[in-house]
Each structure stands twice: as C-alpha cells, then as structure tokens.
Amino acid sequence: MQIKHSIPETPRAWLEEIAKAYKDARETIPFGALVGKDIKPDDLFHMAPVICLKFRGLGLTGRLRKQATEAALSSYVATEDESPEVFSTPQIAFAFAYLASHFGLDLLDADAVSTLMEYVEEHQDKLLSLAK
C-alpha cells in the first residue's frame, strides 16, 4: 500500500488533521436528505474510515475500506462499553474512529493510537475550536 498523503508527525498536527477530517465529514449532513437519512453530528464517526482513506490518498477500494471500517467500528463498540465518556462529543467519537481506521490499515500501532487519543482528550477544547 502506497500512501499518497503523509501522516502527521506530531500530536498537534494530528489534532489539526482530525479537525479538518471532521469538518469534511460534517459536509455530508445536508446530503442525508437525498438518501432519506437524517444525519446528525453523532453519526459522523461512521464516516471516519472513508475520510481516513481520502486523507491518506488511498482511494476507496473494497479491501482497504473494509479494513478501516472493521477496525473503527469494532474498536468503537469495544470501547463504548468500557469507557463511554470517550464518546462524549461527536468530535471525540470521530477522532477515535479516525485513529482506529489508521490502526486497521497498519498506519498506526496501538500505542500510537492510545497516545494520540489521550492527547485529543486532553486538548478537546482545541479540537472543538478547530472543528467549527
């Protein structure tokens, strides 16, 4: 797998990218009506795997999309039961699924995801500000 867009190198750069990715996902909300869906901010974490592929320039092939989606959703379900506070805001839930998608694609290891999520949670106010 050849990544076309580089991975952020610092937690701050990740926070900024996650905010941009969230805003990208948020742009889909008005289009929900076209397919008979009422898309809300709480639903945007479902978009994280696709946005991950887009931001890495990997295309939306079936295999990669499945890998990213399975990692994001299985991690989400497992964590939601243990630590529901992680998903206290749509932006944090999206960040978790976005980072888990990178893990599913072997672009981040579990330690990096954990470290980055801690950073995101500690800087939640900044994420919310950037994601406006």
Q: Return the pLDDT at 30.
A: 85
Q: So where are the chain's domains? A: 11-130
pLDDT band at 128 (very low <50, low <70, confident <90, very high): very high
Q: CA 56 to CA 42: how far, in whole Å? A: 24
What does the pLDDT average to over 42-51? 93
Q: Return the pLDDT at 45.
A: 92
Phi, psi of 123 (to 5 degrees): -115, 35
**End-to-end Cα distance, the chain:** 33
- Which pTM was predicted? 0.90
Phi, psi of 119 (to 5 degrees): -60, -45
Q: Return the pLDDT at 60.
A: 78
